[in-house]
Amino acid sequence: MLRAILRRGPKDEPAKAKRKTVAAAEERPKKAGLPKVIGPADAVLYGTIIALIAFGVVMVYSASAVFAAQRYDNGYFFLIRQGIFALVALPLIVAVARIDYHRYRPLTYPLLAGVVGLMAFVALGFGHSAGGAARWIALGPIHIQPAEVAKVSIIFYLAYSLSKKREKIKSFSVGFLPHVLVAGFVMLLCLKQPDFGSAVMIGLLTFVLLFTAGAKLGYILGAGLLTAPIVYALIASSPYRVRRFEAFMDPFGTRQGAGYQVAESLLSYGSGGFWGVGIGDSLQKLFYLPEAHTDFISAIVGEELGFAGLILLIGAFALVFARGIRAAFGAVDEYGTYLAIGITMFLGMQAFT
């Protein structure tokens, strides 16, 4: 049902009119001049994203000030850096939103090839290492993680390829296998770094977009069943991943080892109660909770703003997710639908995992 709705669009228009709309949309990138597929800005989405960016800057400062003062002798170090990123991101968001997304089609394969090259460079050991993994490319003070760009490039590749092959999407050799092989190769490069989480996310994004495009459910379920024992073997064969899994399942039982960080984060949530202790007043960020300003910043949000603050934060991300799905339903063609679904799922997975 979902796939049928997405492929039909928001309105049950006549098939002839729908074909004209799609054909016109596909011709637009070939015409000179300003982009034509630009509807009114989604004020709710814009406002929510700006609010989340501003909130993120504030919380990064709150969670990092003590650490930055000790490490860099400047409590404003991460505030300044995050503020610069935000000031660069905001005009970019507006600029990218003004571009007809069909203009991205010719960039699909160059982007994918470039990302694969960067990931191979990192996987071969030439990247910047941190925390036992070589996942970054250092460009002065800026570190780029190719796996993050790979997630976006996979979305663009799948949206482009699936929309081109929409008439043969039910075919195993045309509509299913090539996309799984490309995604699988990128996943292998992620595992080589090693970056297990990014590999899993790329796999999930691939299955979601294949399902949305109308690939046979049996193929998707079969691939999932084949993947499950591989995932188990990857976890079981790595002592580090086994410890991470045990820490997740029993954080307080492993608190003296791998579960320390998870246990301390849970204490942060508990300390915040319903209303929180107030912004800037967290005790856990005083070197009790490692990576308080990065991986576990949500625990500091829970401690300082409490359950109420977390609910508002989750609600904001849920609103972004809902508006993204709304954009997918309103797209004029399959390419736009798949892009919107992929990007929305990517943001949702990043926010809630």
Q: What is the DSSP string of 88-116?
A: HHHHHHHHHHTS-GGGGGGGHHHHHHHHH
* Strand ranges across the sheet with 128-130: 128-130, 133-139, 142-144
Tens of pLDDT, residue by residue, the chain (353 residues): 455 545 544 444 444 444 444 454 445 444 434 344 556 778 999 999 999 999 999 999 999 999 999 999 999 999 999 999 999 999 999 898 888 999 999 999 999 999 999 988 888 877 666 655 667 787 776 778 888 999 999 999 999 999 999 889 999 999 999 999 999 999 999 988 888 889 999 999 999 999 999 999 999 999 999 999 998 898 888 888 888 888 888 888 888 888 898 999 999 999 999 999 999 999 999 989 888 898 899 999 999 999 999 999 999 999 999 999 999 999 999 999 999 999 999 999 988 87
Q: Which amino acid is at 208?
A: V
147 lies in a domain?
A: yes
311 lies in a domain?
A: yes
315 lies in a domain?
A: yes
Full-model pTM: 0.84
- Number of folded domains in the chain? 1
The burial class, CB within 10 Å (0-12 / 13-18 / 19+), for 296 is buried
Q: Bin 278: left if φ > 0, else alpha if -120 < ψ < 50, else beta.
A: left
248 lies in a domain?
A: yes
**Residue 115 and residue 190: Cα distance in Å, rounded?**
11
DSSP alpha helix (H) spans, the chain: 2-8, 15-27, 43-72, 77-97, 108-121, 146-164, 177-192, 196-213, 217-236, 239-249, 260-272, 297-329, 334-352
Reported as half-sphere exposure (CB side, CA atoms, 13 A), residue 272 has a value of 28
Note down the domain range covering 133.
104-352
Q: What is the DSSP string of 295-334?
A: TTHHHHHHHHHHHHHHHHHHHHHHHHHHHHHHHHHT-SSH
